[in-house]
Amino acid sequence: MTENSPTKPRFILASSSPRRRELLASLNIPFAVIKPDVDETQHQDESPLDYVERLSKEKAQTVAEQIAAPALVLAADTIVLLAADTIGIFDDEILGKPANANEARTMLRHLRGRAHTVCTAMTLRHLNGTQSAHTLTRLTQTTVYMRDYSDVEIDAYIATGDPFDKAGSYAIQHEGFHPVARIEGSQTNVVGLPLETLNTMLVEIGFPGAM
């Protein structure tokens, strides 16, 4: 990374996701990475949207406590959400990262030929040297329509190892699998960092050079 401009606070990405690093780098913002250490267990009776928003806030707060002002901390959390009208799903269900090939196969079969929602919550904390910090949290949702891929394609994709660090067991950008037929909303949200929303947040918080 190049040296930060003296007119800008340090920018900290509170995420170890390589996809989020790539997306943030595309904005030409110099940044450092600090991985947040938080418990990601969903609370009892906590809705999926409340859950993802809470995690983004806790990740930002955890990293903010480790650094000195002035700084800008960006944290994000993404979930894949199957709605209640999906066959076999009796309530809104979050699809996380699969623990093994069987879980990945089950998720991909649930998603096949159907629509689901990808939700990313982002929290931006501006630490300005005072006791209080300016904090924004925004939620971005994208509807994703999956194509009717075959079981053979699922098995071939699982064999690549790609599903195992992905919520919902897939990557929209995977060149071999191409699981998505179309989307409604932000594509970068499906990757993990909705740049359109982030740009709006940077302007709102007064980050120099934001457009």
Q: Return the pLDDT at 88.
A: 43
CB atoms inside a 10 Å sphere around CB 189: 27
SS3 labels along 15-49: CCCHHHHHHHHCCCCCCEECCCCCCCCCCCCCCHH
Segments forming the whole domain that contains residue 29: 10-205
- Does residue 193 sit within a domain? yes
Query: Which two structure tokens, joined as six digits, stand for 108?
Result: 């991909």
The closest alpha carbon to 83, from 114, 52, 122, belongs to 114
Does residue 5 fall inside a structural domain? no
101-111 and 151-159 are packed helices; what angle lies between their axes, rounded to 10 degrees? 140
Please count the structural domains in the chain: 1
pLDDT digits (tens, 9 = 90+) for 179-211: 999 999 999 999 999 999 999 999 999 887 666
- Domain assignment present for residue 1? The answer is no
Residue 103 counted as domain residue: yes
In a domain, residue 198? The reply is yes
pTM: 0.88
Which of 148-182 are b and which e, b meaning 16 or more Cβ less than 10 Å from the residue's Cβ?
ebeeebbeebbeeebbeebbbbbbbeeeebebbee
The answer to the question of residue 157 being in a domain is yes
> Is 171 strand, coil or helix?
coil
What's the length of the chain?
Answer: 211
Q: What pLDDT is attached to residue 210?
A: 64
Q: Which residues are catalytic?
A: 85
Give, as one character, the DSSP assignment of residue 176. T
Residue 89 falls inside a structural domain = yes
Regions of the chain where pLDDT drops below 50:
1-6, 86-90
- Domain at 193, CATH number: 3.90.950.10
Residue 4 counted as domain residue: no
